[in-house]
Amino acid sequence: MEQLKKYTQSEIERLALKGLEYEEQQKKYSLWHISRQLISDLEDVKKEILEDAYPEDRISEYVDSSISVYTYDQYMIYANNYTDLDIEGTDIEDIQGAIVYAIYEYLSSEAHSWLSKQKEKVA
């Protein structure tokens, strides 16, 4: 608290805003947050997915839409989560393609796990 006394109210507010922006940026590139958002989106349409003749196709659509189309975002997601993403195990020579594939596989695994749990609850 003593350290804050040297700052004006507007400087404190600016620092707080920068902190919030940084936190938001971290969430944007966190696989954990991206997968939690994906699961939340799936929960919102759970009934429709479970009633669909091809629920796996619906899941794939949601996984696709969870991956940013921007190269910078894809690289930042990889940079922040490289320990969870396997780009070495692919035949894709293009680094961006390998990163997108790895992100897709990670999110797809999370989404299909969610789908399996939902099917077990219904059965």
Q: Residue 89: is its pLDDT beyond 70? A: yes
Between these two residues, 18 and 110, which has the higher pLDDT value? 110
The dihedral built from the CA positions of residue 89, 103, 20 and 44, taken in this order, carries a sign that is negative
What does the buried/exposed string (b/e) look like for 77-114 if buried means 16 or more CB atoms within 10 Å of the residue's CB? bbebbeeebebeeeeeeeeeebbbbbbeebbbebbeeb
| Cβ neighbours of residue 88 closer than 8 Å, sequence gap 6 or more | none
Say which amino acid occupies 47: K
Report the alpha-carbon distance of residue 6 to residue 8 in Å, rounded: 7
pLDDT (tens digit per residue) in 19-66: 656 666 667 899 999 999 999 999 999 999 999 999 999 999 999 999
Count CB atoms within 10 A of the CB of residue 16: 10
In 3D space, the residue among 123, 119, 120, 121 whose CA is nearest the CA of residue 59 turns out to be 119
Number of helices followed by number of strands (H, E) in the chain: 6, 0
| Cβ neighbours of residue 45 closer than 8 Å, sequence gap 6 or more | 58
pLDDT (tens digit per residue) in 74-84: 999 999 999 99
